[in-house]
Structure 1
Amino acid sequence: MRGAQIGLVLMLASAVVSIKLLNRQPEWIKIPCHRKDPKVNECLKNTFQGMFPFMARGIPEVNIPRFEPLFIEKIGITKGHGAVTLAGNFNHLYAHGPSNTTTIYTSLDEKAGKLDIGLHIPFIRTESQYDLKGNILLLPLVGVGDAKLYLKNVTTEVFMKVTFPTIEGEEVMKVEHMKVEFKLSHCRVHLDNLFNGNKVLGHTVNTFLNKNSLEILDELNENIGDSLAFVFLKVMNDAFGRIPTKYWLAA
């Protein structure tokens, strides 16, 4: 028992040590914004925009893996009512295109603890494995196999509840909660091996999915948004939990 306790202490100590704060101005943030600047939101928009080229290849000093392609372990689908009822997952998803993101706006309200960001992505192309079962607008859907999606003109809004704790004597930002909403203008999808490889049924369902893709995604918006929020919350905290605010948001 004592050995197990010592092991736990060492694991916790290792975790604390791994959260090492930056001690210099990051190269992707040329100058910090200023809290009292009337144009602070415009400045923050430029700050976030300047990060994307660096995120594309990864920022190891703040534990951000390469963003192009963006790897997502799992996007879970659990929707039991309405026009779309589905259960299952998209697993080991690789998304191409997120590094081409344009920051549309930022809105920081420190007193309310809110930080909102609007983003536009020209396209996202994904490959993954899927395992789904349910109904799409009364049409049955059952399958396990490869999935490919192409999304065009993706507009995403990220709403965050943030705090500014002190770690190692430095103020940092922590995202306590995140909500992600998105909309797009076009979607193409192909699910391989539907109905255990039945080509006739598979073709019928894929054709139906593409004809009704925007309506289907609208039904799944909240479900997918929750999965994306889980991923992006970690990305934000890995980055800004290690960057003292003085380097990007000065007094």
Structure 2
Amino acid sequence: MHSNCGFGANHKLVLLTLVALSLQWQVFAVDFPAPITKCHFGDEKCLIEQAHKLLKKAATGIPENNIPSLEPLKVEKIEMLGDKNSALKVDLVMSDVEFYNYTKAKLLSIKGFSKDLSKPMKLVSQNINPRMTIKAKYKVNGNILVLPIKGEGLLTMVLDNVKSRIVTTMKPEQRNGKTYLIVDNIKLESKLDNVITDMTNLFNGDKTLSDSILKVMNENWRVLSDELTPRINEALAHKFEELLPKLFKDIPYEDYFLPE
């Protein structure tokens, strides 16, 4: 009987130890959210696969990292003040902006991870999105190719074959003997093949004038795109600067990759 009691005590001790270790692991183990897994350093194919998993997961949100659903991706405001010396003399303010299908982008390359952590790291990724839609409230006033445009309502833009290049500069930061990457700056450049724009309530709902100016805009879409795309890129870059630190701030760079 005494022997059985001794075995029970040891068994309980083992259980308590396992529970303590389990709790300790939950507290101190920091990793990428499932199903994202680590890659070997320099394995670009694996990195692209994990990035696609991240985009798919981000579409519905990553609550464990305090990242909301990115489908649609929401931006508060995009503002464009027209160049008075160009063919586009338009002041356009877009608010409550939503980007649909942004997470459907296909990554083509990811480069720049370095073993030298003594200086800032520049990550360069390129992707293509077959079709992306932007919806927003708008207010516009000005001229396009000498034609007047004025209105306030809802805007929809459909962008085809959006090719993007994203440069993310990250600075190393030492904490508790580990190196963490801190997002310092993000720059985004885009090219696209076509834009179709629709606006409700142009010219106080005058259908004839609305149809006429929208036809001109869509036939000369590049005039608007060349001016507006940089503003869109800037707004998206600021959004990424807000979101990315939430994903990487607690993961040491030493833990990004599988051991070699």
- What CA deviation, in whole Å up to 9, does each residue of 1:73-124 have, x standing for no partner? 2122233342223323211122221121111111215455211111111211
- Counterpart residue number, 1:90: 94
- 1:121 aligns with one of 122, 129, 133: 129
- 1:223 aligns with one of 231, 235, 247: 231
Name structure 1 gaps, 5 residues minimum.
Answer: 1-19
- Counterpart residue number, 2:103: 99
Counterpart amino acid of residue 61 in structure 2? G
In structure 1, how many angstroms separate the alpha carbons of the residues matched to 2:146 and 2:110?
A: 40
- 1:213 aligns with one of 221, 235, 258: 221
In structure 2, how many angstroms separate the alpha carbons of the residues matched to 1:219 and 1:44?
A: 33
Q: Does residue 1:132 correspond to 2:140, yes or no? A: yes
- Structure 1 residue 40 displacement after superposition: 4.1
More displaced 10-residue stretch of structure 1: 222-231 or 144-153: 222-231
Counterpart amino acid of residue 89 in structure 2? T
- What CA deviation, in whole Å up to 9, does each residue of 1:199-218 have, x standing for no partner? 22211111111111133202
Superposed counterparts of 1:1-251, under 5 Å: 23-34=30-41, 39-81=42-84, 82-108=86-112, 110=114, 111=119, 113-167=121-175, 170-249=178-257
- What CA deviation, in whole Å up to 9, does each residue of 1:117-160 have, x standing for no partner? 11111211232111122222332222110111111211111112
Q: Compared with structure 1, are the counterparts of its residues 191 and 53 closer, same or farther at alpha carbon in structure 2 (3 Å cutoff)? A: same
The alignment's TM-score, normalised by the length of structure 2, stands at: 0.78
In structure 1, how many angstroms separate the alpha carbons of the residues matched to 2:63 and 2:172?
A: 23
In structure 2, how many angstroms separate the alpha carbons of the residues matched to 1:22 and 1:127?
A: 40
Counterpart amino acid of residue 201 in structure 2? N
The alignment's TM-score, normalised by the length of structure 1, stands at: 0.80
In structure 1, how many angstroms separate the alpha carbons of the residues matched to 2:38 and 2:29?
A: 15
Higher relative contact order (CA 8 A, sep 6+): 1
In structure 2, how many angstroms separate the alpha carbons of the residues matched to 1:65 and 1:71?
A: 10
- What's the secondary structure of 1:226's corresponding residue? helix
In structure 1, how many angstroms separate the alpha carbons of the residues matched to 2:29 and 2:77?
A: 30
In structure 1, how many angstroms separate the alpha carbons of the residues matched to 2:105 and 2:47?
A: 15
- What's the secondary structure of 1:49's corresponding residue? helix
Would the aligned equivalents of 1:52 and 1:100 in 2 still touch at CA under 8 Å? yes
- What's the secondary structure of 2:154's corresponding residue? strand
- Structure 1 residue 246 displacement after superposition: 3.6
Counterpart amino acid of residue 109 in structure 2? Y
Would the aligned equivalents of 1:26 and 1:247 in 2 still touch at CA under 8 Å? no
Name structure 2 gaps, 5 residues minimum.
Answer: 1-26
- What's the secondary structure of 1:52's corresponding residue? helix
Would the aligned equivalents of 1:187 and 1:210 in 2 still touch at CA under 8 Å? yes
Would the aligned equivalents of 2:120 and 2:172 in 1 still touch at CA under 8 Å? no
- What's the secondary structure of 1:128's corresponding residue? strand
Instruction: Indicate the percent of aligned positions where both proteins have the same amino acid.
Output: 26
Q: Is the radius of gyration larger for structure 1 or structure 2?
A: 2
**CA RMSD after TM alignment:** 2.4
- What CA deviation, in whole Å up to 9, does each residue of 1:35-78 have, x standing for no partner? xxxx3444433332221110111011222211112222212223
Q: Compared with structure 1, are the counterparts of its residues 141 and 238 closer, same or farther at alpha carbon in structure 2 (3 Å cutoff)? A: farther
Counterpart amino acid of residue 79 in structure 2? G
